[in-house]
Chain A
Amino acid sequence: MRTLLDAPSKVEKRPVMGRSGPRLKRSQREALAAYLFILPDALGLAIFVALPMLFSLSLGFFSVNGFGGFRFVGLANYQRMLIDPLFRQSLWVTFVYVLILVPALYVAGLGLALLVNRPMPFVGVFRSMFFVPNVVSLVVVALTWQVMLVDKVGFINRIFEFFGVSGYSWLGDPNITLYSILFVTVWFLMGYYMIIFLSGLQEIPREYYDAARIDGAGPAATFFRITLPLLRPTSFFVLLVSLVSAVSGSQAFDLIYIMTRGGPDNSTSLVIFYIYQQAFQFNNYGYAAAMASFLVLILLIVTFILFAVTKGGRFHFT
C-alpha cells in the first residue's frame, strides 16, 4: 500500500527546494513530517503557554511596579511569602476548598449520572436540566446566587425561615461564606461531571450487570463490585480535572470576585484571588508572580502524586 511519504518518482528525482545533498532516510523523513504536523500546535503552546510561564517565573525574582519599573530582588518575593499571614491564610482557605470541592463534585457528578442513566420518561430533559447551569455565564450565576443568598430577604433565607430556621448570613458570616461559595460551585459544575460519568457508565457492558443479577448480587454489591471498578479511568479523569481546577481556582475566582471580593474577613480569599489582589490592586506584580509559581509547583506535586498512585491513569481490570 502506498503511503503519503512514498512520493511519486517524478517528485523524488527533484532536488529539495533547489538544494543538492544527501537524501534523508525514510525514518528521518517520517520524523520530519511528524514534527511539521505538530509544529503549528507546538508554536502556539510555546508562544501562548510556555513563554508566559517562563516570563511569570522570572518575574518572581523582580520587584515590578506595574508602570515599567523592574528591579532584581532575588528571592525576596519568595521570602515574603513565608512571613505573609494573608498568604498563609489564603493557602489554608484553598486547602479547605479543595478538600471539600473535589469529593463533593465526584459524589454529585456520579450520583446524578447514576440517576439519569436509568431508563425513565423524559430522561433527556433531566440530563439537560442538570447540565444547563454549566452553560450559563459564571457572572450571571454569581449575581443570581448573590441575590438569592442575601440576608433576610434572599430566597434561601425564605426557605429556611419556612422551616423555622433564620438569622444566617450566607455571604456575610466568615464561618459560613466559603461553604456557600462551595455550594454554588458544585451546583454549577456537577452537570459537567455528570456527563463525563454518564459516558463512562454507558461504556460498561450490560452483560456484567446481567451476570451479577443472575448470581444474586444486590444494588450495593453491583455498584461497588462492577460499576465503581469499571469507572476507574473516568474517576481518574474527573479527580484530576476537578483537582487542578480547584487548586487553581479557575471557577471560584469569578464567583468570589463578584459575590464576596475575598471577604468577609478574608474567609474566601483563595490563593488565586490573593494573587489577583497583589497584582492588580496593589501593583505587586513580582510578588504575585512568585505566588503564582508556588501555586504551579503545588499543582505539579499534586498531579504527580495522583499519577503515581494511579500508575499514570492506566488501569487493569483483570
Chain B
Amino acid sequence: MKPSSQSEVTSSVVSSVTPTENPVPNSALSNLTRRELIIGGGKVAVAAAVTSLFSPFNIYVKAATPKSLSFWQFYGPGGGSKMQDQWFQDMVKSWNSSHDVKVDLLYVPNQEYMNGSKLQTAFASGQGPDIFIISPGDFLRYYNGGVLVDLSQYMEDAAKKDFFDTVMETRVVDGKIYGLPMEVEPMAMYYSHKAFTDAKLSEADVPKSWDQLIEVSKKLTKKNQFGCLFETGPGYYQNFTWYPFLWQGGGDMVTPEGNKSAFNSPGAAQALKFWQDTIKQNVAPRNELGGGGGDVVGNMVAGYCAIQNLGIWGVSALREGAKGFEYGVFPCPTPPNGKPKSVLGGWSFVANAKSKDPETAAKFCVWALGSMSDDSIGRVVDWCIKAKSDISPRKSALDKATQLGGYSDGAMKVFKDEVFPTGRGEPRVPPEVYKAVSDAIQACQLGGANPEQQAAEASQNIDAYLAGYSGAPLK
C-alpha cells in the first residue's frame, strides 16, 4: 500500500509494532504531523550544530584528578626497533606499577613527529601531550611558547651535577633545567670496509682533512656508487649535520651573547664551499635512498655510498638492520688549520606546563632519567648501550656503561674516546635563524651559489630577525 501522507506512514509504522517492543508511547509519534516533524527535526539540528560550534570552548574545563598522562614519542609501542620499543614499554610499566597517575605511550612515526603537524596542531588546540620529547633544535619554540616545566625543582643536586655541562647547555635557561636528555648523539663519518677494499684502499687512507676526503671519495666513486654522502634534504637535520664543519673553521651562527649574527665569516663560507665541492666534483649525491642521510642501511649498506656522514645511532641501526656488514668510523675531517669538532645531538624528555597535571608529568621525567636511584641510572645505561647506541648524558651512567663494556671496542669506542670529547651541544635557535642557515646550505650545496655571498645574506636575515627577538637566549 502506498501511503498518501507522512502521518499515515507514521501511524502505520507505529501500529505495526507491539507495545512491548516500543518504549515510546504511541501517541507521541502518531500525533506528529509532517510539519511538526520537520520543524522539530530542524530545531534538533540547529541545537546540535550550535552545541558542536561551541564545544571547543568546553574542552578546556580542567579535570579534577587525571588518571593518566599521555607521552608522545617516536619509539613505541609499535616502533621500528623492537629493543627501543621495549625499553619505553618497560619504563612506563615500571612507573605505572608504583604510581596512581598512569602514563600512556603514544607512538608518532618519526617523520610525522619531526616534520609533520601532529604535535604543533595538538598544542595549538590546547590538546598537547603531557610528556613529550624534543631535540635542542626545537627547544626555543616550546620554551618561548611557555609550555615547558622547570624540571630542576624536582631534582636532587647530585643528579643535576651528574649531567655533562656540554649536554645541558642548550636545555637550561636561568639555571633551570627544562629538558632531561636520554642520550647524546655525536656526528662522525662511517665507511664501508668492502668499498675501501674494492678501491684498494686501507685504514691508512681514512681521510683526516677535507681535501683528503674529496680525494679518497673520488677513488671510491663508481658507476653505481658515490664516494661520500652528506644530507641533502632541507630541514633541521641537514643543519645539524653541517654544524661540525661550520665550527671546525671557527664559524658560528650567532655571537656568544646570542643577540647578533656571526654567520658572515670565513669559517661559514668555507664550510658552505666544502659541501658544494663534494657535489661539484661528483663524489656525493644530490639526493639519498631510503630514509635520507640519517639512514645508513638504506644508503651505505645498499652500496649507494662508500662513506656516510652519520650520527652514533648508526651503530645500533647496523647492529639490527645489517648484521655482518663490516664498517669503520672516523671523526669528521677538518679544514686546513681547523680543529676537530662534532655536534652533540639527542632528545630530551620534557613536561608540558599546560598539562592536566604538570607536576606529575615533570616528576615522571625526573624519575625516568634524572634521579640518583640505581633504576634511573640503569635505565640511561640500558638505553645508551643496549636498546640504542649512544653516549650517556650522565657521568654515572657513562662510567657504568663503560664498565659493562659498552664502549670497549669498534665504533662505540671511537665515538666515546675521539668524537665525544670534541663535541658541542646542538645549538638552540629559533626557526627563522635555522631557516636562514638552511637556505644558505641549500643554495651552495645544490644551487651552486657563491658561499661568501650566501653567508652574508643569511647573516643579514639573522640580524633582521634578532633585532626584534624576545625569548630565551640563543646558544
Task: Enumerate chain A interface residues (CB-CB to B < 8 A).
Answer: 7-8, 10-11, 14, 16-17, 33, 36, 39-40, 43, 46-47, 51, 64-69, 86, 146-147, 150-153, 167, 169, 171-174, 257, 260-267, 276, 279-283, 285
**B287:A169 contact, CB within 8 angstroms:** yes
* B194 partner residues in chain A, CB cutoff 8 A: none
Partner of A172, one of B49, B53, B446: B446
- 11 residue pairs A–B, Cβ–Cβ below 8 Å: A7-B35, A16-B36, A40-B45, A65-B145, A66-B145, A67-B142, A147-B289, A151-B226, A171-B286, A263-B442, A280-B121
For A44, give the chain B residue with the smallest CB separation. B49
- Number of residues on chain B facing chain A (CB within 8 A): 56
Task: Enumerate chain B interface residues (CB-CB to A < 8 A).
Answer: 4-5, 7, 33-36, 38-40, 42, 45-46, 49, 52-53, 115-117, 120-121, 123-124, 126, 141-142, 144-147, 223-226, 232-235, 282, 285-289, 304, 354, 431-432, 435, 439, 442-443, 445-447, 449
Partner of A263, one of B35, B52, B233, B304: B233
Shortest Cβ gap from A270 to chain B (Å): 14
Cα distance A52–B5 in the bound complex, in angstroms: 40
For B225, give the chain A residue with the smallest CB separation. A152
Given A39-B42, A282-B435: A264 and B53 within 8 A (CB)? Answer: no
Cα distance A167–B398 in the bound complex, in angstroms: 47
**A8:B4 contact, CB within 8 angstroms:** yes
**A17:B39 contact, CB within 8 angstroms:** yes
Given A16-B39, A150-B289, A281-B431: A265 and B443 within 8 A (CB)? Answer: yes
Given A66-B123, A152-B226, A174-B447: A283 and B287 within 8 A (CB)? Answer: no
For A263, give the chain B residue with the smallest CB separation. B234
For B141, give the chain A residue with the smallest CB separation. A283
6 more A-B residue pairs beyond the given contacts A261-B234, A266-B442, A281-B431, with a C-beta to C-beta distance below 8 A: A11-B33, A51-B53, A67-B124, A261-B115, A263-B232, A283-B431
* B52 partner residues in chain A, CB cutoff 8 A: 47
**B439:A266 contact, CB within 8 angstroms:** yes
* A67 partner residues in chain B, CB cutoff 8 A: 123-124, 142, 145-147, 354
* A261 partner residues in chain B, CB cutoff 8 A: 115, 233-235
Residue pairs across A and B with CB atoms within 8 Å: the count is: 138
**A172:B287 contact, CB within 8 angstroms:** yes
Given A153-B304, A169-B287: A265 and B447 within 8 A (CB)? Answer: yes
* B38 partner residues in chain A, CB cutoff 8 A: 33, 36
Cα distance A265–B45 in the bound complex, in angstroms: 51
For B288, give the chain A residue with the smallest CB separation. A150
* A263 partner residues in chain B, CB cutoff 8 A: 232-234, 442, 446
**A264:B442 contact, CB within 8 angstroms:** yes
**B120:A283 contact, CB within 8 angstroms:** yes
Shortest Cβ gap from A68 to chain B (Å): 6
For B224, give the chain A residue with the smallest CB separation. A153
Given A65-B145, A151-B287: A265 and B435 within 8 A (CB)? Answer: no
Partner of A264, one of B7, B142, B286: B286
For A40, give the chain B residue with the smallest CB separation. B45
* B115 partner residues in chain A, CB cutoff 8 A: 257, 261, 281
* A65 partner residues in chain B, CB cutoff 8 A: 144-145
**B286:A173 contact, CB within 8 angstroms:** yes
**A173:B446 contact, CB within 8 angstroms:** yes
**B5:A8 contact, CB within 8 angstroms:** yes
Cα distance A51–B4 in the bound complex, in angstroms: 41
Cα distance A78–B124 in the bound complex, in angstroms: 22
**Residue of B35, B116, B449 with most partner-chain A CB within 10 A:** B35
* A152 partner residues in chain B, CB cutoff 8 A: 223-226, 285, 304
* A66 partner residues in chain B, CB cutoff 8 A: 120, 123-124, 141, 145
Cα distance A282–B447 in the bound complex, in angstroms: 24
Cα distance A66–B122 in the bound complex, in angstroms: 9
Cα distance A276–B120 in the bound complex, in angstroms: 11
**B120:A171 contact, CB within 8 angstroms:** no
